[in-house]
Structure 1
């Protein structure tokens, strides 16, 4: 899958005049315990009582909580849809990586090195990334971690996962893919689905965690398209959907308007929130 995606990416990037690269390093087993990244304490808190979410295109987000937690999710911050002229975060407490594909690992290693943030993901993927032991939190679905006023739950996803540290080398199995539920103290509960299709277990996620906002892939081909995403929203019983993983490459053809149409067909009450890359949105 990486070979096909890389070919698509290179075409998109040549058109846009930009460049993108995956981050990787030789495997080194590592596992750590959750705690606040050393640079994360410097990050500004979100507006009082609000959670601020900034979409960086594709599946990449930066979340800021009222308690000062700064969390990056699937930080491919150099993707073709990333905002231009916007500085990457200087302070992070946590980096969440849903699976090993290059367009989700992104700049994880560089950001971890710069900020001292903990990196959370599947046990196998975290080992393959070769992170310092103090920053590596390898876990699996069912794991729960506290980062300031955010409680992070690792949940299942339906996808594949492999990691290629060396572009000329073979891909390695990177564990099961994950999604993330982020419950904010006295605030909303966010669900980042990672790369996935709709699956019945979303009903369990709804019953157990009661997410209010779901970040769902809608591009299709490698993930849900708009029709599946609408079904997922119904299973999750969320109030709002933030579309992601669409429009980055020609293969990802789903659109927010198509999602609205599918929700209308299902008479789903969820609202679609189109986020502008690089613009912080209060939830």
Structure 2
């Protein structure tokens, strides 16, 4: 998200989630703990979230996801877990193996540091951004495009994105350069290959991502303004040749006006057979 609108966005959302915008604050886990009793009464509470033999993806709203693999890996992506679309009353994951952060803007870093402290997960992102997060050396896995890492049965590839990236540990401080933005390809043994594009527009090298990694599911921003809109996302789908597309980064703020319905309409124009899979925040979905 660009700095030119950040003040407007923060002002709008502070009315919804108050102090939740303080990135990676040690006090952030208090909110999920306070909601634990309500979550315990929810249907399915206390049961394992993962389905045997399946990869499950839970959308937390905006660009935040939690992926659970058949081999037991739990991977959080861009964990802004207090965004306005986040599931109400949901507790944070108790165990996380890896946290992937696409770039330094507040709506993607989110609660990365607090979640890492809670779960001891390793954090993967650009070298510059990870260096700025102030993580213990054993948890900070700063890298760059071309980096590949293995987490249980998941192989994670860092790939290109077209965006900007800056980070503010303190909203009152100046932004700091946070390295190049990233996308992530997650190859899951005996499962799908997921592509989380991060914040980006469509770019021709998505064709190279398709050729090299052959993703089957793409998580693409569709909101517009700061990222591609539905029409551009349809171009990205054509380049990626995926079977399914999961829309993200839409509806969180008025400026992010793209919708899954608009994406479906754009795909029909191109006679694409790619399926649009609209996820409900907080509901685990097998892919």
Query: TM-score of the superposition, structure 2-length normalised?
Result: 0.89
CA contact (8 A) 1:141 1:155 kept: yes
Query: How far is the alpha carbon of 1:44 from its aligned partner?
Result: 5.3
8 Å contact from structure 2 (residues 14, 21) kept in 1? no
Q: Deviations over 1:120-148 (max 9, x none)?
A: 00000000111000000000000000000
CA contact (8 A) 1:45 1:65 kept: no
SS in 1 for 2:141: strand
In the superposition, relative to structure 1, how do residues 257 and 13 fare at CA in structure 2: closer, same or farther (>3 Å)?
A: farther
Question: Distance between the aligned counterparts of 2:141 and 2:249, measured in 1?
Answer: 25
* Residues 94-113 of structure 1: pairs in structure 2 closer than 5 A: 94-113=98-117
| Contact 1:9 1:249 (8 Å CA) reproduced | no
Please state if 1:192 is matched with 2:196: yes
Cα distance in structure 2, aligned partners of 1:231 and 1:186:
28
1:212 aligns with 2:212: no
Alpha-carbon contact 2:24-2:114 (below 8 Å) kept:
no
Does structure 2 conserve the Cα–Cα contact (< 8 Å) formed by 1:50 and 1:66? yes
Unaligned runs of 5+ in 1: 26-42
2:279 is aligned to: 275
Q: CA deviation at 1:45?
A: 7.2
Partners of 1:250 and 1:132 in 2: CA distance: 37
Please say if residues 63 and 70 of structure 1, whose CA atoms lie closer than 8 Å, have aligned partners that are also in contact: yes
Q: Which runs of 5+ in 2 are unaligned?
A: 26-46
Give per-residue Cα distances to partners, 1:146-201, cap 9 Å, x unaligned: 00000000000000000011211110100000000000001100000000000000
| Residue aligning to 2:158 | 154
2:80 match: 76
Query: Number of aligned pairs?
Result: 265
CA distance in 1, matches of 2:154, 2:162: 25
Give TM-score scaled by structure 1 length: 0.91
Distance 1:3 1:71 in 2: 31
Moved more, 155-164 or 16-25: 16-25
8 Å contact kept, 1:81–1:248: yes
State the superposition RMSD in angstroms: 1.5
**Hey, what's the Cα distance between the residues in 2 that align with 1:103 and 1:211?**
25
Match of 2:51 in 1: 47
